[in-house]
Amino acid sequence: MSEDRLALLRSRIRDIADFPKEGILFKDITPLLADVNAFRATIDLMVEALDGESVGAVIGIESRGFMFGAALADKLGVGFVPVRKPGKLPAATHRAEYDLEYGSDAVEIHQDALRPGDRAVIVDDLIATGGTAKAAGELVKRCGAEVAAFVFVINLVALEGAKKLEPHRVISILDY
Ligand code: AMP
C-alpha cells in the first residue's frame, strides 16, 4: 500500500531544469498539491512516520512548508507556527542566519510563538543542504522549545543535509 502511495507521489513531482538559476534541478511540488489524493497521502505518510511522537506544535518554513505544515498540524490536532523570511512577521521576532553558496540568508519566528518545553515538528517541502532547516531548529530552541523531528516531502540525499540536523530525527517521504 505504501509503495502505491509513494509511486503516486513521485508521479506528481515535476523536475524543472535550470530554475531558478542555471544548474539547479527544481523539484516542483505544485502537481502534488493539485491532486487531492496525492496531497492527502503525503500528509498521511508524515503522520504515520511520526508514529505517535508527542508533538505540541508544527512549524512550517516559508513558503512551501506552510502548505504541508498547516495540513499536518490539522491532522495532528496541534497549532501551526510560521517561520518566515526577514521582515514579514509583525511582532517581536528571533532571527537565525544561515550561509548560502554566495552570501547568507535568515529566517524569523515570533518570540511568543511557542511555549517553553513545547515539542515542535519542523516541516518543509524539501531538504537540500539543510541550512534553512537548521536555522529553523535554532529558532525553536531560542523560544525555549524542543525539536521533536524534521519532516520533509523530499530529501536530496547526495547533499547530505540531514547530517547538519543531527542528532535530531529527520523524516523524508521521498529520497532522490
Ligand atoms: P537548503 O537550505 O539548502 O536545505 O534548501 C532548502 C530550501 O530551498 C527549501 O525551502 C526548498 O524549498 C528550497 N530548495 C532547495 N533546493 C531545491 C530544489 N532543487 N527544488 C526545489 N526547492 C529547493
DSSP of 105-138: EEEEEETTSS-TT-EEEEEEEEESSSHHHHHHHH
For ligand 1, atom 15, name the residue with the nearest CA: 128
Query: What is the DSSP code string of 18-64?
Result: T-SSTT-EEEE-HHHHH-HHHHHHHHHHHHHHHTT---SEEEEETTH
From the list 64, 95, 142, 160, the catalytic residue is 64
Q: Are residues 174 and 9 in contact, defined by beta-carbon separation less than 8 angstroms?
A: yes
Q: How far apart are CA 174 and CA 68, in angstroms?
A: 14
Amino acid symbol at 133: A
Q: What is the pLDDT of residues 43-96, one digit of tens each?
A: 999 999 999 999 999 999 999 999 999 999 999 999 999 999 999 999 999 999
Q: What is the pLDDT of residues 111-134, one digit of tens each?
A: 999 999 999 999 999 999 999 999
60 lines ligand 1 (CB under 6 A): no
Burial (CB count within 10 angstroms: exposed 0-12, middle 13-18, buried 19+), residue 146: middle
Q: How far apart are CA 38 and CA 41, in angstroms?
A: 5
CA triple 26-63-56, angle to 5 deg:
125
Q: Which residue has the cell 500500500?
A: 1
**Mean pLDDT rounded to a whole number for the chain:** 97
16 lines ligand 1 (CB under 6 A): no
Its pTM surpasses 0.85: yes
